[in-house]
Amino acid sequence: MTPHSPGTDQIDTLLWIGFVAAAIIVVAINFALIYAVRKYRAGRGAEPRPREDGRRIQFRAAGALTAFAALVFVLSIVFTEKANEAPTTDSAGLASAEAEPLTIEATGQQWLWRYDYPNDAFSYYKLVVPVDTAVELELLSTDVVHTWNVPDLAGKRDAVPGKTHRVVFRADEEGTYTGESASLSGQAYAAMRTAVEVVSPEEYEAFLEQQKADIQAAQDRVVGLIEGEEAP
């Protein structure tokens, strides 16, 4: 898994901070535990050492823990804010999306994602977006809670029925990024996958036109079949 959007870069950094924080806790506690039970294993007739039950040591421990927690909290907020910053379209990106991000509707339904593009074209399963362009997905759901999850491009976001949830990313490299839904949504949940195909702005424009024409052709054929009474 490699980050391919400014937001996921920040997520990756915070992930490493979290890993280090967790490692410090695990190592400190487990080493102290092993030391305690190895060093102070009692022989026959051993007596425990007397001990002064001071308040100062408790305050020191609480102070150190509070400092650690505060550091983790502040770092988390800093990097979360950075990850939340909406990226803007680069010069290499789609020209029409320079001021406002390119908005695409992503609708989760059992067990498929549907993407609706600005020119009324739509696609299932595969989302095609231009490279170096800020893309805003509007996550919707027609039935149950789904989680849109393409870890290379953005953090997880839930699509909850009745709510609109937004996720913004800017893919920095052409290629295909895959993801799996991450909320149990019923029987075929594990099959609910998606792919984001990042292409050049020209290819994206061409895809939109092609997709629109294909959809129109398919519709015309269905209408023709119905009118010709070849199909009910």
Q: Which of residues 65-84 bind other proteins (CB under 8 A)?
A: 65-66, 68-69, 72-73, 75-77, 79-80, 83-84
**What end-to-end distance do the CA atoms of the chain give, in Å?**
49
Cβ(129)–Cβ(174) under 8 Å? no
Place of tokens 């129109």: 216
Stretch (H or E) spanning 25: helix 6-39
Q: How far is the CB of 63 from other proteins (least distance, A)?
A: 10
97-156: contacts with other proteins (CB under 8 A): 110, 143-145, 147, 149, 151, 154-156
151-170: contacts with other proteins (CB under 8 A): 151, 154-158, 160-165
Stretch (H or E) spanning 202: helix 201-227
Nearer CB in complex with other proteins: 116/143:
143
Q: Which residues of 161-194 are buried (b: 16+ CB within 10 A; e: fewer)?
A: eeeebebbbbbbeeeebebebbbebeeebeebeb
Q: Residue 31 region, left (φ>0) first, then alpha (ψ -120 to 50), else beta?
A: alpha
Q: How far is the CB of 120 from other proteins (least distance, A)?
A: 25
Among 99, 187, 230, 232, binds other proteins (CB under 8 A): 187
Nearer CB in complex with other proteins: 122/189:
189
Residue 105, C-beta contacts closer than 8 angstroms, at least 6 positions apart = 115, 116, 137, 138, 140
Among 92, 120, 125, 186, binds other proteins (CB under 8 A): 186
Q: How far is the CB of 176 from other proteins (least distance, A)?
A: 13
Task: With CB under 8 A as the rule, give the number of residues binding other proteins.
Answer: 78
193-232: contacts with other proteins (CB under 8 A): none
Cα separation, 115 vs 98, in Å, equals: 21
Nearer CB in complex with other proteins: 112/215:
112
Report if residue 37 touches other proteins, rule: CB under 8 A: yes
Among 51, 56, 91, 228, binds other proteins (CB under 8 A): 51
Other Cβ atoms less than 10 A from the Cβ of 145: the count is 15
Nearer CB in complex with other proteins: 17/112:
17
